[in-house]
């Protein structure tokens, strides 16, 4: 057993549910099994967007973010269903409970994937044996398929879990990099998006192996510190721990400010709310998350504090959207008494990479129509250091704010 559990190393799993939403629907209604199935918003409309699809549908070329009309042309027998997020959340919680039966070191990273550190689980068997039991339990108890990557760190485990789907178990050791990892195209590397891949190809970095041996100074000039970080990953180096508490960071992002003087001035309140929403937006962008709930906190001159929140139909991130919801809450709940402190918290957060696939449920076409504008503004902001198109009421960065009410809900330990 010692060959599987080195004294100075770690054994990390990455558990990735296969075609999760479609698989949950098939488990709920077994008649769907074996049929080409897509989950999409507005399935009646040709312009609705595919959120995910079954492997049977993928064989016909059906892909995520593809318009429903195009998907039906590729696969005339395609069945299209609206998503049931409550059903998916329930399945996700049950899946993570199974992982927690093996070790307490479980780090959920999205609704359908997570890391496990089984370094101290030698008494339960070899890593492949443990992985097979996990995979079988999830299949038997939830009727859901998953793939598991086994590696000495999180990055390699993540890459390994993608190598065999569905229902795969893949071991990726550092000695395997040259044969298994390095030949892959650079865009298949976790952490390399389309924009970064395009930049890397300009300097003749076509594969992960090219990245591993490229002069690090040129990578840092091109990508900053991320260039060196990506090269370390390509060489199999990743010291990040599996952190069960990391999930808490994505439960809420909030900030508040105490006013210089108690106020009842409506325009001053609006100005403060603008400043706060820009702070929250910046932190959300840094964390790459979207929110589906906004909470407003009002503390009055007598220190009485009230909090009110609103659940939203769609996920938001922009300061303008956060401001509009916050202002509505303020107009509805302010009692006209002098205000000492205001705070805004974005809640019910989810990773943008996950939710981007679901935009069509509410506003995909609207969002997509503005994507070029958003990209242009982001590029100018990156170049000049600030958004050159701020609204006239945008805040100046001259107010000290503090985070508040970090409501770290842990659904996985209930």
**How far, in Å, CA of 323 to CA of 325, rounded?**
6
- Between CA 253 and CA 89 the distance in angstroms is 21
Tokens of 413: 């330990």
Residues 363, 103: Cα–Cα separation, whole Å? 39
How far lies 148's CA from each of 13, 144, 154, 357, in Å?
6, 13, 12, 22
Sheet containing 169-171: which strands, arranged edge to edge?
106-110, 113-117, 12-17, 146-151, 169-171
The residue annotated as part of the active site, out of 56, 77, 94, 113, is: 113
Q: Is 242 helix (H, G, I), strand (E, B) or coil?
A: coil
3-state secondary structure of 269: helix
How many CA atoms does the CB half-sphere of 88 hold within 13 Å? 19
Measured between alpha carbons, how far is 377 from 383 in angstroms, rounded to an integer?
Answer: 10
- The answer to whether 101 is a known ligand-binding residue is no
| Phi, psi dihedrals of residue 62, rounded to the nearest 5° | -70, 130
Asked if 345 and 322 touch (Cβ cutoff 8 Å), the reply is no
Return the structure tokens found at 180: 């298994």
What is the token pair recorded at 147?
A: 């793939």
Could you confirm whether 314 is annotated as catalytic? Answer: no
Q: How far is CA 372 from CA 30, 282, 376, in A?
A: 42, 20, 6
Is 331 known as a binding-site position?
no
User: Quick one: which of 217, 159, 169, 213 has its CA closest to 191?
Assistant: 159
Following CA atoms 204, 207, 211, 215 in sequence, which dihedral angle do they give, to the nearest 10 degrees?
-30
What does the alpha-carbon distance between residue 351 and residue 356 come to, in Å, rounded to a whole number?
9
User: What is the C-alpha to C-alpha distance for residues 162 and 14, in angstroms, rounded to an integer?
Assistant: 10
**Cα radius of gyration rounded to whole Å, the chain:** 24
Residues at the binding site for Mg(2+) are 16, 112
Residues at the binding site are 16, 112
What residues are annotated to the active site? 113
């Amino acid at each position: 057993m010692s060959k599987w559990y080195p004294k100075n190393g770690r054994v990390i799993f990455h558990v990735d549910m296969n075609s999760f939403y479609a698989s949950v629907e098939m488990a709920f209604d077994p008649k769907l099994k074996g049929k080409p199935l897509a989950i999409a918003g507005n399935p009646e409309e040709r312009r609705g967007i595919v959120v995910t699809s079954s492997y049977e549908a993928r064989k016909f070329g059906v892909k995520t973010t593809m318009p429903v009309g195009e998907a039906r042309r590729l696969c005339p027998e395609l069945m299209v269903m609206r998503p049931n997020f409550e059903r998916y959340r329930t399945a996700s919680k049950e899946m993570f409970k199974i992982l927690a039966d093996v070790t307490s070191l479980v780090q959920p990273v999205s609704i359908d994937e997570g890391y496990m550190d089984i370094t101290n689980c030698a008494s339960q068997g070899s890593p492949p044996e443990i992985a097979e039991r996990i995979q079988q339990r999830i299949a038997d108890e939830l009727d859901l398929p998953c793939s598991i990557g086994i590696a000495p760190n999180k990055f390699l485990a993540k890459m390994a879990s993608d190598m065999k789907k569905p229902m795969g178990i893949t071991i990726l050791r550092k000695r395997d990099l040259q044969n298994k990892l390095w030949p892959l195209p650079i865009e298949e590397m976790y952490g390399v998006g389309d924009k970064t891949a395009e930049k890397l190809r300009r300097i003749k970095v076509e594969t992960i192996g090219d990245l591993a041996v490229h002069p690090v100074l040129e990578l840092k000039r091109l990508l900053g510190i991320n260039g060196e970080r990506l090269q370390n990953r390509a060489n199999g180096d990743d010291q990040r721990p599996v952190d069960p508490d990391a999930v808490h960071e994505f439960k809420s992002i909030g900030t508040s400010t105490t006013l210089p003087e108690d106020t009842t001035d409506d325009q001053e309140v609006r100005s403060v709310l603008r400043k706060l929403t820009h702070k929250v937006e910046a932190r959300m962008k840094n964390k790459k998350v979207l929110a589906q709930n906004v909470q407003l906190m009002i503390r009055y001159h007598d220190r009485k504090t009230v909090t009110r929140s609103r659940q939203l139909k769609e996920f938001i991130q922009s300061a303008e959207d956060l401001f509009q919801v916050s202002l509505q809450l303020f107009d509805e709940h302010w009692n006209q008494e002098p205000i000492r402190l205001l705070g805004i918290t974005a809640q019910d957060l989810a990773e943008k990479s996950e939710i981007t696939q679901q935009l069509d449920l509410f506003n995909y076409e609207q969002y997509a129509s503005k994507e070029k504008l958003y990209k242009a503004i982001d590029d100018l902001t990156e170049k000049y250091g600030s958004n050159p198109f701020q609204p006239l009421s945008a805040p100046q960065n001259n107010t000290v704010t503090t985070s508040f009410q970090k409501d770290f809900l842990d659904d996985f330990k209930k």
